[in-house]
Chain A
Amino acid sequence: MRILVCVKRVPAPGSRISITADGLAVDTAFLGFTTSPHEECAVEAAVQLVEAHGGSATVLTLGPAEAEEQLRYAASVGVSNAVLLATDGADWDPQRTAAAITAAITAIEDRDGVFDLILFGNESADSGGFQVGVRVARHLDRPIVNGIKGISIADGIATLERPTDAGQEVYELTMPAVAGVKEGINLPRYPTLKGRLASKKVQIAIIEPSAKPGGQVLVRLEPPAELTTSTTMLGNGPDAAAAVVDLLEELGVLR
């Protein structure tokens, strides 16, 4: 079983996002970075599948040299191979990103064999394009379904579960296949000390990506209009209960 998981390095913004003076990027001067949440779960899913079925998991990212941090983190929880498509830090548009990742996957597969399963996050936390995985799957002519919160593998079939408002949908994709994973598919493990040490020894294959820009072009970033201008204080401690219940009556939720 060969599994590839594609991840994105994103800022961890806490409660506030600042924009750079030129309006073209998030000001990350005082921010840490993390793996986009859906993709952190995709990494865990890949590791669990390899634990159950054997084989190996590979992690791939397109991003700045610093994205090595996210690749090493994936290695520290059990991924054995890492690939960095190193950019100069530019935020690549979805078409360009998908073209570069497709080219890298094709090169890796030509050398090492086909990935039975490729996992993406459903969408990235920052730019939220909802499309890179779909485009890569299309380029590779492999089936993909997004919104996946359950994966099991047997007899060359990946059975995928997708929760919806109405319940749950089940898909059966013949591998090689692709899935867009959502947070909630699992609770990602924390790296062990042994895992952290081992991750330092993992070789990172560096590829210089090349792809032409797509048709979505960032002009600038802006803060959204604040919805609430003032907060009405209902009181302090349990003494506020009467005011809270008055409010619930006023809103008509107390029936």
Chain B
Amino acid sequence: MSGAVLVVLEHDRGTIAPAALEALTAGRALAAQLGTTLEALTVGSNGDSLVADAESFGADVIHQAHHALLTDYNPEAWGEVVAQMITATQPAVVLATGTDRGNEVLAQAAARCDSAFVANCLTFEPGQPGGTFGVTRVRWGGSLIERATVAGTGTGTGTGTATGTGTGTGTGTGTGTKLLTIAHHAVDASPAANPGAGTATVFEARLDPSVARTMIVARVERPAGVTLATAPVVVGGGRGVGSADGFAPLQSLADLLGGVVGCSRAVTNLGWRNHTDQVGQTGTRIAPDIYIACGISGAIQHWVGAMASKKILAINTDPQANMVTKSDYAVIGDLHQVIPAITAEIERRRAT
């Protein structure tokens, strides 16, 4: 039997990241495909609290990495722990969350192992002809899918040869551990049907004191409340809003619905809204019950940040706008007339 599928469980001082449950779900399917076991790794003793989650999602073994320096997130220390786990347990695959932290930790681990690392995978095809390991992954924030092969640790270099158009072709042939992250929202988290009792085992990491150099030295906690990333309703505005003041009716509608206001990159660049309100590939990825996109053309940059919304309603004067043709629902018209009418209708129904 080949080595295990080892899932690195992202957590923040003992609170598991939702994406880690998706990674366990994807890891369990991959382990079944490979005919091997699902194992999990928690970093730091405050991650010991994740054992129950790991068990219910089907982890057979939970490695708990302990060290005095592992009191909080630290990209170099976490990457070093993952690299040491690879050496110690020789997993077939290390799978982490396709999030800022997950991608950062696996990049650190891959740099230490001098092996490939493929970020934001969607699917896995381990048994390719010639023994290569295939994946599909996200490009352009999800606007394009890349089919790739990945080499493992050890002998891991590709046999790429540049062709006339200058794009490498070839296959990754490394036989060791494959380092991968699973794109956020690529799979829905689902617990194992018949989970067994996992075996928790402490892994004493050996860390050089120098890894303390990327330790968090202070935190500013955000006041509790709805954020763009977690809001059930987002009312977004684009260039069509016309001005910074033009966002007032969007704000009123968002307030009525217990939601928040978002915006496109064009709006941020015009200085109408702060970047913290920006929905998009380089802004915030949103996943509300409904996204109401007003006066937004729907460039790729914006669309990939909005596409995880459960439903999208576009309000636009242009019926051919990308945002309109890709949306579930649309209203054709001037947002400055349509939104106040919606607000008035909500207030009218609430009054009766």
Interface residues, chain A, CB within 8 Å of chain B?
13-17, 19-20, 22, 24-26, 37-38, 87-95, 98, 122-123, 125-131, 134-135, 137-139, 143-147, 163-174, 180, 182-184, 187, 212-224, 226-228, 231-245, 247-248, 251-255
- Do B327 and A231 touch (CB < 8 A)? yes
Once the chains are docked, how many angstroms separate the CA of A17 from the CA of B282? 17
Decide yes or no whether B91 CB sits under 8 A from chain A: no
Which chain A residue lies CB-closest to B275?
A: A184
Contact check: which of B110, B162, B220 meets A131 at CB < 8 Å?
Answer: B110
**Can you name the residue of chain A whose Cβ is closest to the Cβ of B12?**
A166
Q: How far is the CA of A231 from the CA of B315 in the complex (A)?
A: 12
A125→B338 contact, CB < 8 A: no
Contact A235 B329 (CB under 8 A): no
- Residue in A90, A236, A252 whose CB lies within 8 Å of B166: A90
Since A37-B282, A130-B120 are in contact, a sample of 12 more A-B pairs with Cβ atoms closer than 8 Å, ordered by chain A residue number, is A25-B165, A37-B265, A125-B140, A144-B75, A172-B217, A214-B158, A219-B149, A233-B329, A238-B338, A238-B341, A253-B257, A253-B259
Cβ–Cβ contact B144 & A223, under 8 A:
yes
Docked Cα-Cα span, A130 to B183, in Å, equals 12
B143 touches A214 (CB 8 A): no
User: Within the complex, what minimum Cβ distance (angstroms) separates B135 from chain A?
Assistant: 9
A218 / chain B contacts, CB cutoff of 8 Å: 146-148, 167-169
Nearest to A11 among chain B residues (CB) is B140
Q: Which residues of B contact A129 (CB under 8 A)?
A: 117, 119
Neighbouring A residues of B116 by C-beta, 8 Å: 93-95, 214-216
Contacts of B171 in A (CB 8 A): 217
Q: Using Cβ atoms and an 8 Å threshold, which residues of chain B touch A245?
A: 342, 345-346, 349
The interface residues of chain A lying within 8 Å CB-to-CB of B214 are 143-145, 171, 173
Complex CA–CA separation, A137 to B218 (angstroms)? 23
Q: How far is the CB of A10 from chain B (nearest CB, A)?
A: 9
B56 at the interface (CB under 8 A from A): no
Residues B147 and A134 in contact, CB atoms below 8 Å apart: no
Most buried by B among A91, A215, A216, A224: A215
What is the interface size of chain B, counting residues whose CB is below 8 A from a CB of the partner? 118
Across the interface, name the chain A residue whose C-beta is closest to B299: A15
B138 near A128 with CB under 8 A, answer yes
Q: Is the CB of B141 within 8 A of A183?
A: no
* B29: chain A residues within 8 A (beta carbon): none
With A94-B117, A130-B119, A219-B147 in contact, is A88–B330 under 8 Å at CB?
no
Nearest residue (CB) in B for A225 is B145
Q: Does B112 contact A (CB under 8 A)?
A: yes
Q: Which 4 A-B pairs have the closest CB atoms?
A: A215-B151, A215-B116, A184-B275, A238-B341
Q: CB of B67 within 8 A of chain A?
A: no
Instruction: For A163, give the chain B residue with the smallest CB separation.
Output: B276
Chain B residues lying within 8 Å of A221, measured Cβ to Cβ, are 139, 144-147
